[in-house]
Chains A and B, each alone.
Chain A
Amino acid sequence: DGGITQSPKYLFRKEGQNVTLSCEQNLNHDAMYWYRQDPGQGLRLIYYSQIVNDFQKGDIAEGYSVSREKKESFPLTVTSAQKNPTAFYLCASSIVGRPNYGYTFGSGTRLTVV
């Protein structure tokens, strides 16, 4: 079945470490997104990419970095510059310019700073 795979499901980071969250999709979707969700809150956009080798900052990009070398993959790196990284991270994908399709989300990665 087609879908989005996020790994790992749980991730623990020490202070000062960079960590990378994986997101892979086999839906042949053009666009991919990273959102952050804090307890009881909505989703906030970190980065998005509509085409390979191109990406745009979202509302809370500081302390994060991404790459889009392949259509299927959109990894997110949480750097040591992100002061409060503990959150639930969600990756999504969509077809560009097709209004009859929504976003498909992965099952998320819960990141905790220890």
Chain B
Amino acid sequence: LAKTTQPISMDSYEGQEVNITCSHNNIATNDYITWYQQFPSQGPRFIIQGYKTKVTNEVASLFIPADRKSSTLSLPRVSLSDTAVYYCLVADYGGSQGNLIFGKGTKLSVKP
């Protein structure tokens, strides 16, 4: 299983762009990269998922280099409500689905 490494915490200010990088050196060919957001006392929420290059949706962008050994979640113009924990996961959804590993994530604090 591919292990991920991401910063424990990050601070930002409202209106700034935030980039959270995740390392996954042992990513396998069939693995997808998925990011989740979790607010206190709530379940994680799916944000974005990608396999390679760039993926963009209404919430965020996900940049994946050609070697796929890392990925960067980009949150444009953050607001106070983006304060949350962000998890990076790498998994083969067609394979052993019971083994999604949620690390401690990155605690993002957005200040006014």
Contacts and interface: CB of A to CB of B under 8 A. Distances in A.
Interface string A79-110: 00000000010111010111111111111101
A42 B43 contact: no
A17 B32 CA distance: 41
Identify the 8 closest CB pairs spanning chains A and B, nearest first: A105-B43, A102-B46, A48-B98, A43-B102, A42-B102, A99-B93, A97-B94, A42-B104
A86 B44 CA distance: 19
B105 to A, nearest CB: 6
Interface of A: 4, 31, 33, 35, 40-45, 48, 50, 56, 58, 88, 90-92, 94, 96-108, 110
Contacts of A88: 41
Interface string B94-111: 100111111111000000
B71 interface: no
B98 A58 contact: yes
A102 B36 contact: yes
A101 B93 contact: yes
Interface residues of B, number: 23
B60 to A, nearest CB: 13
B103 to A, nearest CB: 5
B49 interface: yes
A100 B42 CA distance: 23
B87 interface: yes
15 contacts: A31-B98, A33-B98, A42-B87, A42-B101, A42-B102, A42-B103, A45-B99, A50-B98, A99-B51, A100-B49, A102-B49, A103-B36, A107-B42, A108-B43, A110-B41
B92 to A, nearest CB: 8
